[in-house]
Each structure stands twice: as C-alpha cells, then as structure tokens.
Amino acid sequence: VSAYIKQMREVGLKALPIVDGLGWVGNWYELTGRSSDGIVDMNVKWTARSKPYQEKFVEKYNFKPSASAGGISYDAAGMFLKVLNRALEKYGELNSETIHKITAEEMATGKLTYGFADGAITMKEYKFTPEYYPDPLTDANHWFMPVIQYKGGKANIIYPLDLKEMDFMVP
C-alpha cells in the first residue's frame, strides 16, 4: 500500500485516495511520508487506556503497534479470557462444550459483553445481539471505526461530525 501511495503522488494522480488499511501498519508514516497527506481511511483510534499497552509493545518489539491490528487483537484476547472465566465459573470446567454454551447463551445474546470496565483499550464495549450475531453491535458506543484523514503523520477523525478532529482536506 505504501508504494502505491507514493507512486500515486509521484505521477500526480488527481483523485481522492481512499485506502483501506493504511493505519494497520504501525510504521505507515515512515513508509509513506507526506505522500499520505489527504488519504481517507476508516480505522480504529487509540484511546488513553491504550498507553501502557503501546509503551510495553514498543519496548518489547521496537516499533509502534497499530490500533487496528494490535489494539483489537488485545481486546479480542481479553474478551476470550472473559468467556473462559465465565464458562469455568458457571460450569466448573473448560472444554469446547462449556465454551460454546457461554458463547451461544451469553455472548451472542448480549448478556456477556467486554468493554473499558473489563480492560478493553480500543472500543467502549464489544457487544453482540441475536439480530447481528456473529457481527458485533455497531455504533459510536460499541464496535466503531470513524472515517479518518491522514495529515502530517496523524490520523484525524473527519466523520462523524461530533467526533471530528479536523475538517475534510481536499488533496
């Protein structure tokens, strides 16, 4: 993706670049530089709660994690641990049957959720409902990826308007 973005700028392509997944690479700006200014994407934003995770990640691996690839994976692992703990608590043992029961009876119905109070670092709350399962509930308080635009190495929310960090920039 980074090579495409750089080439797009080099040839002077007159288009609004919408690039899905640019921010999934932790060092995307080092790869693209100012060529990424104006790129539109949808991506998870780090929350203040993620700071300790990011610092430990950089210390261990020597590069910045992405909110999408690193943060959501961290949250998914936390939710899985919550499901395991609930299965052990309710059934007294962990096996595929008890894990499946908790997933079907509590997670898929919205009774068991995972959010900031549980240790999530990217989304306020991961919640499933029978109407949308296996997809999570999607809105500003649950699973949510705002529309962002990159400028100067920073991902800035441009939509929804109530979360807007900068005005849309015509490239």
Q: Is the model's pLDDT at 161 over the cut of 80?
A: yes
Which structural domains are found in the chain, ordered by start?
1-43+147-171 (3.40.50.2300), 51-144 (no CATH)
Token pair recorded at residue 43: 């991506």
Q: Is the model's pLDDT at 93 over the cut of 90?
A: yes
The DSSP 8-state label assigned to residue 11 in this structure reads T
Range in 27-31, 115-119, 164-168 the model is least confident about: 27-31
Provide the 3-class DSSP secondary structure of residue 84: helix
* Residue 94, number of CB atoms within 10 A of its CB: 14
What pLDDT score does 149 carry?
A: 96
Report how far apart, in Å, the C-alpha atoms of 2 and of each of 28, 42, 57, 171 are. 7, 16, 23, 17
pLDDT-derived band at 85, boundaries 50, 70, 90: very high
Phi, psi of 33 (to 5 degrees): 60, -150
What pLDDT score does 47 carry?
A: 82
pLDDT digits (tens, 9 = 90+) for 22-48: 887 768 888 899 999 999 999 888 888
